[in-house]
Chains A and B, each alone.
Chain A
Amino acid sequence: MSKTYLSILIIIALIVIGSLAYSFISQPKIGTNEAVVIIDFGNNKRAFAGEVIDGMTITDALGASAKAGNFNYIYQNGTLEKVDGLEKDGGQWSVFINGTKVEEPLDKITIKPQDKIELRFEK
């Protein structure tokens, strides 16, 4: 094996290790007892994380996120009407938990650590 090939192999290995390391470093750090709420407004996203306690529902997680992110939301009659000024009249808020769309009222679904709750505003 020539020096050239060895150098290329090292470079590739460094690139792979570096990208893996970047990927690992750039991932938000989520504790083992925490869940994540990601809000996709269409043109931007915001994410929130925090501890999950017994009986905590999706709306509770949303409330905790709203407090952390200083935004308002309106949830009434089992429907998410408005999040940070974005009302469902211009589209629709859909909620997913771990990639599965939630069809039941949000305040009836309890979450557990490591859950990923995603709110998407879909036009």
Chain B
Amino acid sequence: MRNKNINILILFTFIILGSFFADNFIFGATEVTGGCCDTTIVYNDPLPDQMYIIGNTVHFSGSFRVTSCGDGLFFNKVTFYITEDKEIPITNCCGNSTKDCTTSKSCTCIEGCNNCYGATSNRYSSCNFQWCDKVQYLDVAKANTLGYKVYKLGEIYPPDVASGSKPYWVEYNKTFTIPEDLGFTGPVRFYVQYSGTHWGGHWHWNIVYQKGIINSPPLKPEPVEDGETWNNCQIQGLSIPTFQWTYSDPDGDPQASYEIKIDNDSNFSILDLFDSDKFSRSGGASTIFTPTASDWKNWQKWNTNYWWIVRVKDNKGTWSPWSDPNPFITPLHAYPWPTFIHSPENPAPGEEVTFVDQSICYDFNNNPYSCKDNTNTRYQWDFDNDGQIDCDSNTNPSCRGNVNYNVQSSGNYVKLFITDDVGTCSSTGDTPISTRSPFPEWREIAPF
């Protein structure tokens, strides 16, 4: 009993599937019109919601047949379009946009009735059959007046199908390249338009479309200003660049990710296989990249020419071209690292405090040394952090190294600027200074 039920279920499934495939199969596609004597369409490709970019190929495949009026199709013509995702108006050669199967040849148009819509048949010399004036097609002129963009990819003229085993199908299998001058992107429709005659009786037609997406890649990124900014003073012994680029996408899609490469030559081609020392990183939606300190310290060399390129991907997965190589040069060596401590730690207001210089500078080999040992190194002390330099080694050499200052109040910041041959960095050392309540005055006595 149970097996019987299963068999019935399987049979039922096959019937459903069979009828589905045997009948009008337009998986995901939309039939705009099936003509006066219904024309069956099997729409295989493109699949629904496929995404393409300009330059991709789009494959159309499927077939047409007469459903209710017997087999045999002549004067076959299939036309392919990409349009914006709009309701493209349809018309016929008499200018009607609705199906009218009750009259026959109410008008006789040259293109359809006399010229067979440009198609031919080996069997018939004339095509001036019933409904030749009713054959419907996309009204491109009207679409244009509505501002709807339509691009005709091409047309084919399949031969007569009226021999061999039945049923007869007019098949199409055609590939087109999405052209550079398409003129629009985003959601689109892939229209397939068929016309042909059933024996010598009457005309058939069908218009169907599948939805898809033409995605524009993001534009080639451009460096912002110089392309990179430097942080020379935040990490001791290291200058870290930040790379910044523009992002623009014709479709308005946001950036989803990026890939950046840095190398000591401007050849980033894929043929540059032997250069394994590139610095390559990827990231997300940011248009700024700063390497980590450890990464950069391990990879970069001082006083070296480098180039960087970047490409970006939109949220539909389409990459932009790589940017042009943008050059930059690393500093001669690390910037000065000013630092100092003060003593006593908690002076009384007005008490003299010694600021003990512990600053480190770097030579051309990037070896560290005490900044005060180099007389070319400039020290500038701002004892009350008011932006005014209070002690400058250019005018007072004793400002190079340890200095003394009478601290007046708690919270006093002291700022030290050190300038060497590559640049200037500053530090507030271990300040602010916390002063304590004044101690009683002591006196000097005779030693004992």
Contact = CB atoms under 8 A, between A and B. Distances in A.
Interface residues on B, range: 20 to 34
A74 B356 contact: yes
Given A64-B440, A107-B345, A72 B351 contact: no
A69 B441 CA distance: 11
Contacts of B345: 59, 75, 107
Interface string A21-43: 00000111110000011100000
B439 A60 contact: yes
Contacts of A28: 445-446, 448
B208 to A, nearest CB: 84
A46 B447 contact: yes
Given A46-B447, A74-B356, A63 B441 contact: no
A67 B351 contact: yes
Nearest to A40: B447
Interface in A38-64: 38, 45-51, 53, 56, 59-61, 63-64
Contacts of B341: 76
Contacts of A30: 445
A45 B343 CA distance: 23
B446 A47 contact: yes
B444 A72 contact: no
B419 to A, nearest CB: 26
A74 B354 contact: yes
A68 B351 contact: no
B439 A53 contact: yes
Contact of B448 (A47, A51, A61, A63): A47
A37 B440 CA distance: 14
Contacts of A53: 439-440
A49 B442 contact: yes
B148 to A, nearest CB: 79
A63 B440 contact: no
A56 B438 CA distance: 11
A73 interface: yes
B375 to A, nearest CB: 21
B390 interface: no
A48 B343 contact: no
A69 B440 CA distance: 14
User: For the complex, would chain B's binding face be called helix, strand, loop or mixed by DSSP majority?
Assistant: loop
A75 B443 contact: no
A68 B441 contact: yes
A5 B443 CA distance: 47
B348 interface: yes
A66 B87 CA distance: 93
Given A63-B439, A64-B440, A47 B351 contact: no
Q: Which of A46, A63, A64 has the most CB of B within 10 A?
A: A63
Name the residue in B341, B356, B441, B444 with the highest tally of chain A Cβ atoms < 10 Å from its Cβ: B444
B410 to A, nearest CB: 16
B439 A47 contact: no
Report which residue of A26, A28, A38, A81 has the largest number of chain B beta carbons within 10 angstroms of its beta carbon.
Answer: A28
B29 to A, nearest CB: 80
A81 B402 CA distance: 13
Nearest to A60: B439
A62 B425 CA distance: 34
Contacts of A76: 341, 343, 356
Interface in A72-86: 72-76, 81
B440 A46 contact: no
Contact of B445 (A36, A51, A60, A73): A36
B344 interface: yes
B442 A64 contact: yes
Interface string B340-357: 010111011001101010
B441 A72 contact: no
A28 B146 CA distance: 110
Contacts of A65: 442, 444
B175 interface: no
B404 interface: yes
**Closest 9 A-B residue pairs measured CB to CB?**
A50-B442, A45-B447, A51-B440, A28-B445, A64-B442, A47-B447, A68-B442, A64-B439, A74-B343
Interface of A: 26-30, 36-38, 45-51, 53, 56, 59-61, 63-69, 72-76, 81, 107
19 contacts: A26-B446, A27-B448, A28-B446, A36-B445, A38-B447, A47-B444, A47-B445, A49-B442, A50-B443, A60-B436, A63-B348, A64-B439, A67-B352, A72-B354, A73-B354, A75-B344, A75-B345, A76-B343, A76-B356
